[in-house]
Amino acid sequence: MVAGAFKLVTMNSPIHIWDLILFITISLMVLLFIYRFNREQRFFDRSYSGSWLNNFGLIIASTIVITVLRIFVSWLQSTGKLKMYHFQIAYLQHESTLAYWFLVLALGVVIPVLQEFLITGFLFNYAFRKNTVMTAVLGIIVSGVLFSLLNWQDSIALLLVNALFGAIFAWSYLHTQTIWMPIYLAVLNSVILIIMT
């Protein structure tokens, strides 16, 4: 629903206030997932009890990996070796300050947060709860594929790129046992993507 409202806003030039209100309303309704996730998270056993901020080396390394990968993908797009994302094409056709800040808020923050709660949080809490290597690997792959499908593109290469990013986010969730690490990485990824547009 949020992705559909996002598409509606980005298709119109200039951006209409009623489209923004619709996006904000739908986003706030879907943000109830966060409340539900936090409420249900109490019932799932976590072997790691520390904060995700305890592992500063992991945060720095993950930040560097996501930044370098995102810059590399943008470089491939600028040289024509990789297609542009749909939102990039729409933005370049209807460039404006309001459109840019809408992208930063919607695509840079709201959508990645919702996707990580849905794809990583709920997926691992319900579908991949066993504490085995096979379950972890399968969960990372499924999470990457779902991330790619939710960020659908008409290019196989971009679908694979998105699947790689989704898998990295899922791995960070398993490693830290907290949803805040993949949320941080997803927001970082999206903001860099928007800046590189």
pLDDT at 154: 86
**Residue type for 133, please?**
V
Per-residue DSSP letters for 48-115? --S-GGG-HHHHHHHHHHHHHHHHHHHHHHHTTSSPPPHHHHHHHHS--HHHHHHHHHIIIIIHHHHH
The rounded distance, in Å, linking the Cα atoms of 120 and 117 is: 6
Q: What angle in degrees, to the nearest 10, is found between the helix axes of 156-176 and 133-150?
A: 140
Q: Enumerate residues 6+ apart whose C-beta is below 8 A from 180.
A: 52
Selected residue with higher pLDDT from 67 and 33: 67
pLDDT at 63: 94
pLDDT > 60? residue 64: yes
Average pLDDT, the chain: 82
Q: What angle in degrees, to the nearest 10, is found between the helix axes of 156-176 and 180-195?
A: 150
pLDDT > 60? residue 52: no
What is the DSSP secondary structure assignment for residue 155, as one 8-state letter?
-
- SS3 of residue 178 by DSSP: coil
pLDDT at 76: 94
**Tens digit of each residue's pLDDT (9 = 90 or more) over 76-131:** 999 999 998 877 877 777 777 777 888 888 888 888 888 888 888 777 777 777 77
The rounded distance, in Å, linking the Cα atoms of 156 and 167 is: 16
Q: What angle in degrees, to the nearest 10, is found between the helix axes of 86-93 and 97-105?
A: 160
Distances (CA, A) of 36 to 2, 75, 116: 17, 39, 14
